[in-house]
């Protein structure tokens, strides 16, 4: 009999019937019994090779059951897992290794991470034999980190965020109560396991509820989404605004995606414009659950509810979370005034690993998410990332007020408006427009300028640059820091 130790918050992994489906994907169905036996065998394999409890386990692989088994096996062996994207560059991986100092590495043979971590135990899934019989027991409570996640790097280099078991339990009580998953629910997530949003969607929430998740190793493009919708018919669909925009455009062209069976549609990862939320509701009859979170608070901490009629609002704090808007000195500002979004509650991470500075994020009894927002009677209105606010002609405004109308121009796949220096050294802005290839670049730039002319003078960008692709992080988020760098060259 092999023991599998499980985080107590993952109730479904503790209690779900052996034959209940845990994951579906290209390799068929993995039941909860299969999963428990595989994870127990992984933990036994690690312990038999002398890896001491307390060390870090770097898991760098595409989304699949083997990746989940590595996380669960690491937990059972007393290690602290960190799932990192298989698309990270060697330089990014080297920075991760320097912070993590892993005792175990789960990566494909020949992967650069193997060379960067030669002193760590390298595990191949093929080496691991599932346990025949498993006893499942809760992990003992611990005050230290049990999970490390890396920030997306959209506004700076990736940082190691350390989460405790209490934080995981808090997220499952918080946004988990909004999702309200049940056995029989099937979750499909655009975000991958290496992204905090995806780790919750595809691992934490389903395994806590005894539900099922779709795991697919490929990026969730619009065509891939169509194939997975047809193959699996999810009841809960967790997307990002970029994919929602694709769904809207497909429907407007008479080729709507088949969302039959979807009862809850979640949008997070980036700001969801009100107009886009309204278009999704009009065309598909589903009001997106708009979510805001950060790696430093593990998952979504502010959201609307399913079917909330106030489409486009960022929402209210989820249960167990206290959200305030504060000035630069940490004082709570009155309703209607803009400031830094601050989150308090057990979901807040234990801090950063390594030498990353803590005080501008983990302060005032909680964490600052890096977002600017307003609050009115408990309802949060997201404005933009703190670094992205535009200041032109004495006006301060978030970039999405310009980007939203530009995304409606035919031929625009996406757009980013960033600060720039105009004539005479005055502050201005530039619009970088990602083309979808259906309109000639010159014609597209002209159409975008016409759309800008309808906006107030201070919102009319000094330049329009058409590009084949905007820079993105490994999680697919717009890398605004890199776009801002383009505007200065």
pLDDT (tens digit per residue) in 306-347: 656 565 578 999 999 999 999 999 999 999 999 999 999 999
Strand partners, 23: 30, 213
What dihedral angle (degrees, nearest 10) is formed by the CA atoms of 248, 252, 258, 259? 40
Given pLDDT bands bounded at 50, 70 and 90, which one contains residue 359? Answer: confident
Q: Kindly report, residue by residue over 452-488, the tens digit of the pLDDT.
A: 999 988 899 989 999 999 998 765 678 888 888 887 7
- The domain spans of the chain are 1-386, 389-487
Q: What is the pTM of this model?
A: 0.87
- Angle at which helices 241-252 and 222-232 pack, to 10 degrees? 80
Provide the token pair at 103.
Answer: 């005792």
Distance CA 266, CA 234 (A): 12
Q: Kindly report, residue by residue over 155-198, the tens digit of the pLDDT.
A: 456 789 999 999 999 999 999 999 999 999 999 999 999 999 99
End-to-end CA distance of the chain: 63
DSSP annotation of 72 reads: H
Distance CA 210, CA 67 (A): 18
For the segment 60-87, the average pLDDT, to the nearest whole number, is 95
Q: Kindly report, residue by residue over 259-272, the tens digit of the pLDDT.
A: 999 999 999 988 88
> Which CATH number fits the domain 1-386, given the four candidates 3.40.50.1970, 3.40.50.12780, 3.40.50.261, 3.40.50.20?
3.40.50.12780
What backbone phi and psi angles, to 5 degrees, belong to 241? -55, -35
Strand partners, 229: none
What backbone phi and psi angles, to 5 degrees, belong to 109? -55, 135
DSSP annotation of 144 reads: S
Of 351, 349, 354, 358, give the one whose Cα is nearest residue 100: 354
Burial class (CB in 10 A: 0-12, 13-18, 19+), 305: middle
pLDDT at 154 over 60: no
389-487: what fold? Answer: GMP Synthetase; Chain A, domain 3 (3.30.300)
Contact 344, 358 (CB under 8 A): no
């Amino acid at each position: 009999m092999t023991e599998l130790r499980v985080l107590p918050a993952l109730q479904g992994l503790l209690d779900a019937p052996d034959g209940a489906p845990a994951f579906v994907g290209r390799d068929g169905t993995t039941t909860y019994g299969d999963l428990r036996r595989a994870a127990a065998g992984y933990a036994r394999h690690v312990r038999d090779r002398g890896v001491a409890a307390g060390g870090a386990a770097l898991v760098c692989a595409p989304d699949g059951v083997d990746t989940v088994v590595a996380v669960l096996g690491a937990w059972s062996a007393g290690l602290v897992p960190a799932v990192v994207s298989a698309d990270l560059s060697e330089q990014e991986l080297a920075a991760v290794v320097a912070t993590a100092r892993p005792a175990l590495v789960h990566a494909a043979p020949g992967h650069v991470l193997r060379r960067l971590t030669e002193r760590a135990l390298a595990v191949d899934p093929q080496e691991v034999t599932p346990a025949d019989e498993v006893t499942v027991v809760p992990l003992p409570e611990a005050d230290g980190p049990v999970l490390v996640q890396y920030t997306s790097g959209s506004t700076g280099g990736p940082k190691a965020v350390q989460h405790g078991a209490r934080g995981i339990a808090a997220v499952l009580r918080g946004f988990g109560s909004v999702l309200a998953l049940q056995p029989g629910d099937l979750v499909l997530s655009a975000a991958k396991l290496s992204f905090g949003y995806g780790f919750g969607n595809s691992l934490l929430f389903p395994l806590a509820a005894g539900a099922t998740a779709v795991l697919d190793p490929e990026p969730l493009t619009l065509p891939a989404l169509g194939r997975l919708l047809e193959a699996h018919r999810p009841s809960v669909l967790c997307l990002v605004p970029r994919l929602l925009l694709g769904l809207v455009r497909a429907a407007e062209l008479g080729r709507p995606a088949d969302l039959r069976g979807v009862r809850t549609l979640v949008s997070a990862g980036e700001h969801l414009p009100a107009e886009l939320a309204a278009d999704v509701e009009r065309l598909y009859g589903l009001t997106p659950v708009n979510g805001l979170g950060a790696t430093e608070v593990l998952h979504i901490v502010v959201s609307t509810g399913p079917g909330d009629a106030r489409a486009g609002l960022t929402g209210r704090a989820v249960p167990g979370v206290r959200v305030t808007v504060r000035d630069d000195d940490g004082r709570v500002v009155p309703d209607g005034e803009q400031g830094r979004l601050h989150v308090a509650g057990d979901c807040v991470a234990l801090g950063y690993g390594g030498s990353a500075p803590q005080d501008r994020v983990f302060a005032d009894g909680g964490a600052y998410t890096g977002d600017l927002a307003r609050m009115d009677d408990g309802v949060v209105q997201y404005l933009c990332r703190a670094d992205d606010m535009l200041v032109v002609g004495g006006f301060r405004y978030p970039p999405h007020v310009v980007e939203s109308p530009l995304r409606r121009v035919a031929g625009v796949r996406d757009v980013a408006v960033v600060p720039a220096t105009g004539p005479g050294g005055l502050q201005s802005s530039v619009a970088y427009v990602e083309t979808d290839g259906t309109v000639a670049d010159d014609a597209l730039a002209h159409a975008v300028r016409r759309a800008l002319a309808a906006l107030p003078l201070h919102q009319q960008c000094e330049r329009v640059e058409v590009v084949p692709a905007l820079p993105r992080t490994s999680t697919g988020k717009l890398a605004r820091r890199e776009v801002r760098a383009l505007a200065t060259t």
